[in-house]
Amino acid sequence: MTVHAIIGGTGLTQLEGLSIQQALSLETPYGAPSADILRGEYAGREVLFLARHGHPHRIPPHQVNYRANLWALRQAGAEAILAVNAVGGIHAAMGTGHFCVPHQLVDYTYGRAHTYFEGELEAVTHVDFSHPYDEGLRQRLIAALLAEGCAFSGHGVYACTQGPRLETAAEIVRLERDGCDIVGMTGMPEAVLARELGLPYACLALVVNPAAGKSSALITMADIERALGEGMGKAKAVLGRVLAA
């Protein structure tokens, strides 16, 4: 039975319903992960859980130690990764509360430690990243969203920006012109590090606000928190279905 790891983003620093059996405080060659890795049972299956931003939520997107997080999950026995991300909606279909299971991404980040293949190497290594998300995991997320009756899109292009600030309206115009449908700050280098470690990886993205310029209203944390409160319960139900299946 595959051991799945869930990486919880903003709004998912705890996985309610997880019967915790062990809290693993791990060190890696890249430092400490964002939080203890929780090993337990969820939806009748063994699962590992890691809060991407720490618990409590305290680590901004550009300071997450992505290398330590992925390394520690593999060290703890993870064989596949289900990542949950809060995002802004660019495409008209990506309204607040909508889910997206992206099939592609564009990386706009800079200055992040983004690979394990550096330093004193015996040989240069390049990983194929043509299709950044594992198709099998994507289809399982899509099936679970259908079963839960959630509004979702089974395809989308995730734009990963640096943060921690939100984007300008002009930047969103640029991202839309580049073909992006949703925008977040944590999709990279997480996805490519999973690929370098040979871990199947897929993203369940919850739209928590219209991207800058896509609404006449200002983006407020109160509105984002309201969307997180309404949407993360559905996300947990979807994850449960994926694991149970």
Domain ranges for the chain: 4-244
CATH-assigned architecture of domain 4-244:
3-Layer(aba) Sandwich (3.40)
Q: Is 186 annotated as a binding residue?
A: yes
Q: Is 10 annotated as a binding residue?
A: yes
Tokens matching residue 56: 């409590």
Q: pLDDT of 146-184, one tens digit each?
A: 999 999 999 999 999 999 999 999 999 999 999 999 999
Are 175 and 167 in contact, with CB atoms under 8 Å apart? Answer: yes
Are 55 and 73 in contact, with CB atoms under 8 Å apart? Answer: no
Q: Which residue has the higher pLDDT, 63 or 119?
A: 63
Q: Is 205 annotated as a binding residue?
A: no
Q: Is 52 annotated as a binding residue?
A: yes
How does residue 120 score in pLDDT terms, banded at 50, 70 and 90? confident
Q: pLDDT of 24-80, one tens digit each?
A: 999 999 999 999 999 998 888 899 999 999 988 889 999 999 999 999 999 999 999
Taking every pair of Cα atoms in the chain, the longest distance, rounded to a whole number of angstroms, is 54
| Dihedral, 232, 237, 242, 245 alpha carbons, nearest 10 | 180
Task: Quote the percentage of the chain above a pLDDT of 90.
Answer: 76
Q: What is the pLDDT of residue 215?
A: 87
Q: Is 185 annotated as a binding residue?
A: yes
Q: How far apart are CA 108 and CA 104, in angstroms?
A: 13
